[in-house]
Amino acid sequence: MLRSVHSFTRQSHTSKSLLTFVKSLAGASRRESRTMNSSVAHHKVSPVGEVRSTSALGGCETYFISSSQGKNLFARCWKPPAHVELRGLVFLCHGYSEHLGWYDPIGTALADKGLVAFGHDHVGHGRSDGLRCFVNDATEYVDDVMIHIAKLKEQHPHLPLYIIGHSMGGMVTISAVLADAEVSGVVLMGPLILPDPKEATPVKMTAARMVAWICPNFPVGRLRKELVTRDKEMLSSLIKDELGYQGAFRAQWACAVVDLLMRNKAALGKFSVPFLILHGEHDGICSLAGSQIMIDEAPVKDKKLKVFPDALHHLYLEKPDTRQEAIADTVDWIVQRLPPSPSHKQ
């Protein structure tokens, strides 16, 4: 994801002067501001409580929650059938530029096993409020996850909690666990654990912070959607998805993400929750090396890394065989770690 984040530093070397460069940033800032204002207006959500379950949304319950910054976040919840006993909670933490609408297959599969699967479109994503794919501080994503989890735990205090985190959502999941979330286990799928070492050098990060200070929304590269999946139909749908973000990474967002990654990396020795990592062999967005580092550094005994041959980044959107295997692995891993069915009624 971050492999092209700092490519703009090469452009700055050709500027005739720092003043010229700053002026160009100011102009870009004004243009970007107009673009973002239009984007925000297009994605502004309705008041909490207006949207409810519809067949177009896969039959799951939909609602809004208030974020840590007072924004409306569009949420989904897949509940088990009435005759199935509730056995656990699973928070679904999606990745950069996507939204929870892509997670209906895994949400449904979890619900069929007695698990309440829930989550929300991150701020600035999907149907949630906020500038598209922008935060000043990436811990905002983490705070929002903790708020949502707390609400479901209030309703089901005796159910164990698990988290599934994909890509940037993997970074958020790791941070939430390190922040002392009461989690029984996590599944990380193509997680963002390390920035690209060729790009996040001290020199480039210093330059990035200077640019972000002058123009927080300065474009610094894009997510290459062709690296998400080998499935041509899925890729076409991703590119055409009106709720997905097709724009550039923003400078301040990139700096905020690298900051959180570095804090996570420094604390991996304290990660004591059981976890499963599923990673595509040819993931060109989030480094497989990061997943291996987590396996090496996390002290917990119950940990596993499974690599999917030839697969790219988003295993739940990969070719059908890979997709089905990744979903089955996720569900089976969680079900195998559930405590015995509770004797009390929830």
Mean pLDDT of each 10-residue bin along the chain, 346 residues long:
40 38 44 42 34 42 97 97 93 98 97 97 98 97 98 96 99 95 94 82 79 90 93 96 94 94 96 98 96 98 98 98 99 97 53
Whether 301 maps to a domain, the answer reads yes
Compute φ and ψ for 301, nearest 5 degrees. Answer: -80, -35
Is 161 inside a domain boundary? yes
d(CA 164, CA 277): 10
- Flag whether 344 is in a domain: no
Judge whether 319 lies within some domain: yes
Domain that holds residue 292: 8-336
Cβ(293)–Cβ(264) below 8 Å: no
Residue 199 pLDDT: 67
Between CA 284 and CA 59 the distance in angstroms is: 33
**Residue 106 phi, psi dihedral angles, 5° rounding:** -70, -35
pLDDT of 50 reads 32
**The pLDDT of residue 206:** 81
Q: Which residues of 202-239 are buried (b: 16+ CB within 10 A; e: fewer)?
A: eebbebbbbbbeebbbbbbbbbebebbbbbeebbeebe
The predicted structure's pLDDT at residue 208: 80
Asked if residue 345 is part of any domain, the answer here is no
Q: Does a structural domain hold residue 233?
A: yes
What is the end-to-end Cα distance of the chain in Å, rounded? 41
In a domain, 1, yes or no: no
Instruction: For residue 246, tell me if it sits in a domain.
Output: yes
**Residue from 245, 239, 43 nearest 128 by CA:** 43
Number of folded domains that form the chain: 1
CATH number at residue 210: 3.40.50.1820
Residue 342 tokens read as 């509770």
Q: Tell me the whole-structure pTM to 2 decimals.
A: 0.84
